[in-house]
Amino acid sequence: MSEKELTWEEVKKSLKFTPNEEAEIQLEMDIIEATIAARKENNLTQRELSAKSGIKQPVIARIEKFINSPQTNTLIKLLYPMGYTIKVVPLDKTLKSKNNK
């Protein structure tokens, strides 16, 4: 018997994330996507970034596939050799009001 494949929207709805949880997930995805963009802007392969950062290539691959959540120190190790850092900035008012509902 074949089960119907669910769309991400159907799965997401069944998980019943709170607005804060959705915001946290989106923030993590944005950080990972920015890290991928930085690697590509620096014309680095995952293997080359691994050599520069000391983070093993399979770990980088799992982060970039959104399989593993990177720890802050891992992000710093990945970003620093590419000339990037992490900065804490205020959320815009639209996002703040959405999360406080």
71: three-class secondary structure by DSSP: coil
| CATH number of the domain encompassing residue 43 | 1.10.260.40
Interval 76-82 mean pLDDT: 97
Is 12 contained in some domain? no
Min mean pLDDT across 28-32, 83-87, 91-95 is at 91-95
Q: Does residue 11 form part of some domain?
A: no
Q: Under a CB-based contact definition with an 8 Å cutoff, are residues 49 and 41 in contact?
A: no
Q: In this structure, is residue 63 part of a structural domain? A: yes
Structural domain harbouring 60: 18-99
Q: What is the pTM of this model?
A: 0.76
Q: Is the pLDDT of residue 24 over 50?
A: yes
Q: What is the Cα–Cα distance from 76 to 57, expressed in whole angstroms? A: 16
CB-based contact 60:45 (threshold 8 Å): no
In a domain, 1, yes or no: no
- The total domain count for the chain is 1
For residue 80, the SS3 value is helix
Tokens of 20: 């804060």
Q: Would you call 5 helix, strand, or coil by DSSP?
A: coil
